[in-house]
Amino acid sequence: MKKAIFSISFIFVFLLTFAQTNQERADAIIKEALPNNEHGVAVLVARDGEILYEKYTGYANVKKQTAVEANTTFRIGSVTKQFTAAAILKLVEQDKMQLDNPLNKYIEDFPRGDKITIHHLLNHTSGIKSYTDQPDFIKSVAKSVATKELVDEIKSLGFDFEPGEQWKYNNSAYYILGYLIEQESGMSYEAFLKKHFFEPAGMENTGVYDKTKKYKMEALGYANEEGKVKLSMDWDMTRAGGAGNMYSTVTDLLKWNNFVFSGKVVRADLLAKAHTQLTLNDGSNYPYGYGWGVGDFRGLDQIAHSGGLHGFLTWLAYYPEIDVTVAVTSNASPPLKIVPGQLGKDMMEVFFEDQLESREEAEIDAEELQKYVGKYEYPGGAIMTVTQEEGKLFAELTGQQRFQLFSEGENKFFWKVVDAQIEFHVADNGEVDYGMHSQGGMEMKVPKIEEQEAITMTPKEFKKFEGEYVLNGASVKVWEESGSFYTQIQGQPRFEIHPKSDYRFFMKELAVEIEFAEGDKPESFTLYQVGREVVAKRK
């Protein structure tokens, strides 16, 4: 759910696995990642609806040292989306909605509402700009908002592309869907889910989070600050709505998967649509259905989704061929070492290694590696730099270590330190133009970007830019040091900026540019990141 300027959200984590029994191996992985109960985590693995392994460790409340237990509830972020999607399908089953109905049938004045369908909202192809991507979103996340008020705000955001042209993860779409559930059912979002899903499935510890209520077994949310945890920003979940406002437990999430995949949620043809990869206007497929990612993991079909907001991370996956559910909840985001999606994959390798395809290295001519070398832009503006050294390929993402990439066939590579893969696309001219990165049940297109050349600028020429500015309420410093130029937002790492013209600078570590106003002492600069422009004023 969360977005912020300069944020880096992709994390590679190396988790050691060594022990004798599966139970011991699983315990060792969790202990290695959380040696001192720095925060809380719950892990569950089940087959044929029955629990094979469950582990509750760490603290729901670090200050009070309240241990995580089976009934400890965690906010689950975007795992909420599958409940929202299922609720829409239930309304379709009840003939109260249709998937191909245009949005303006339900919200008459919505821009392009005649082109956007319910289908587009469900599979992130509407093109509506996501409200959580807006640069000032973070300032309002702790404040309550009426659903219609935020829907009206979304109307004004504009569009990234025409409906069905692209796939782009979109919290606006699911917030709107949560609103439509209430409009078309005549019930509150929570009441509808409770009646049709929570109660029939026996989910006694699941609901829509309300900041004004007291929850007896609630996990608090924490953030990683220089290797230690502190209380995180606390969302008012009215800001998440149908895109991410629920809380649950791993045992209730198992009950949900049992309920869904036994065919009790909606009729089979509608559920099949939710678990089928979408098709874009150009005929290409994308591994997402309605509220679920639809891909594979080492040869097994995987229907899964992750969830994340400040203080909480979640992973819920189902493997239909072997009837296996894996659920992981954590109350630390940004994380220390527990990344639920990766931990869930580790559990699969512990308990079902014999069911998984092995991943073997393929030989590749060192000369062939050169075409992959370059920079690739990731969501949020992070950059992965791919280099070649002594016949080996390496990748380094902004703010992280450099790791080797291993070939598994033509244009396909994988990391050994984490379950992640990238397939490079070679254009007709023989050059790589983008990569498809797969990790945690999701895929993303990462375009290759041109290297920029810096011009020469002396410290004396740069002097006029130095000082403090204010960007979205946060202080930003700009300064020169030993002939290099830097900027730093309060509470974030510093980044070097390189001049491309007299007043415009770029970063090599992020897809970010800064342009200062002209003058002897510029009173502002404009920051450009992932299609957004934000002005910072001099203090």
Instruction: Write out pLDDT tens, residues 298-340.
Output: 899 999 999 999 999 999 999 999 999 999 999 999 888 888 9
Cβ within 8 Å of residue 124, ≥6 positions away: 167, 168, 169, 170, 173, 288
At residue 440, the pLDDT reads 62
At residue 396, the pLDDT reads 92
The domain defined by 459-538 carries CATH number 2.40.128.50: yes
At residue 518, the pLDDT reads 95
At residue 441, the pLDDT reads 60
Cis check for the bond before 334: say yes or no (omega within 30 of 0).
yes
At residue 399, the pLDDT reads 77
- Count Cβ atoms below 10 Å from residue 533 Cβ, excluding itself: 10
List the beta bridge partners of residue 231. Answer: 222
At residue 136, the pLDDT reads 82
By CB atoms closer than 10 A (0-12, 13-18, 19+), residue 40 is buried
The arrangement of strands across the sheet holding 74-75 comes to 74-75, 246-248, 207-208
CA 177 to chain centre: 19
Task: Give the DSSP letter of residue 88.
Answer: H
Mean pLDDT confidence for 489-493: 83
Give percent of the chain above pLDDT 90.
Answer: 77
Q: Which of 339, 305, 395 is nearest to 11 (CA)?
A: 339
Using 50, 70 and 90 to split pLDDT, how confident is the model at 20?
A: low
Using 50, 70 and 90 to split pLDDT, how confident is the model at 10?
A: very low
Cα angle 327, 330, 336 (rounded to 5 degrees) comes to: 130
Poorest-pLDDT segment among 110-124, 278-292, 345-359 = 345-359
Q: Tell me whether strands 374-377 and 50-57 are parallel, antiparallel or unpaired.
A: unpaired
CATH number of 22-355: 3.40.710.10
- Structural domain spans, the chain: 22-355, 366-449, 459-538
> Residue 307: what are its φ and ψ, rounded to 5°?
-140, 140
Q: With 60 as the cut, is the pLDDT of residue 358 above it?
A: yes
Q: With 70 as the cut, is the pLDDT of residue 261 above it?
A: yes
Using 50, 70 and 90 to split pLDDT, how confident is the model at 242?
A: very high
Spatial separation of the C-alpha atoms in residues 91 and 267, rounded to whole Å? 12
Q: With 90 as the cut, is the pLDDT of residue 416 above it?
A: no
Poorest-pLDDT segment among 92-101, 196-205, 390-399 = 390-399
Using 50, 70 and 90 to split pLDDT, how confident is the model at 381?
A: confident
Element (H, E) at 161: none
Mean pLDDT confidence for 83-93: 98
Mean pLDDT confidence for 463-468: 97
Q: Which two tokens stand for residue 119?
A: 């289908």
Q: Using one digit for the tens of pLDDT, what is the confidence trace for 417-461?
A: 777 899 999 999 999 999 999 876 677 889 999 989 999 999 999
At residue 419, the pLDDT reads 73
Asked if 22-355 and 459-538 have one fold, the answer is: no
Task: Give the DSSP letter of residue 188.
Answer: -
At residue 491, the pLDDT reads 77
Mutual angle of helices 22-33 and 340-351, in 10-degree steps = 160
How is domain 366-449 classified at the architecture level of CATH? Beta Barrel (2.40)
At residue 1, the pLDDT reads 52
Using 50, 70 and 90 to split pLDDT, how confident is the model at 16?
A: very low
Higher-pLDDT residue of 73 and 357 is: 73
At residue 134, the pLDDT reads 87
Using 50, 70 and 90 to split pLDDT, how confident is the model at 372?
A: very high
CB-side neighbour CA atoms (13 Å) of 96: 13
On whether the CB atoms of residues 222 and 39 are closer than 8 A, the answer is: yes
Q: What is the mean pLDDT of the chain?
A: 91
Q: With 70 as the cut, is the pLDDT of residue 5 above it?
A: no
Mean pLDDT confidence for 94-100: 97
Tokens 């979640």, residue located? 314
On whether the CB atoms of residues 234 and 219 are closer than 8 A, the answer is: no
Q: Using one digit for the tens of pLDDT, what is the confidence trace for 173-196?
A: 999 999 999 999 999 999 999 999
Q: Using one digit for the tens of pLDDT, what is the confidence trace for 383-400?
A: 999 999 989 999 998 878
Q: With 70 as the cut, is the pLDDT of residue 292 above it?
A: yes
At residue 3, the pLDDT reads 40
Q: Which two tokens stand for residue 1?
A: 């759910």
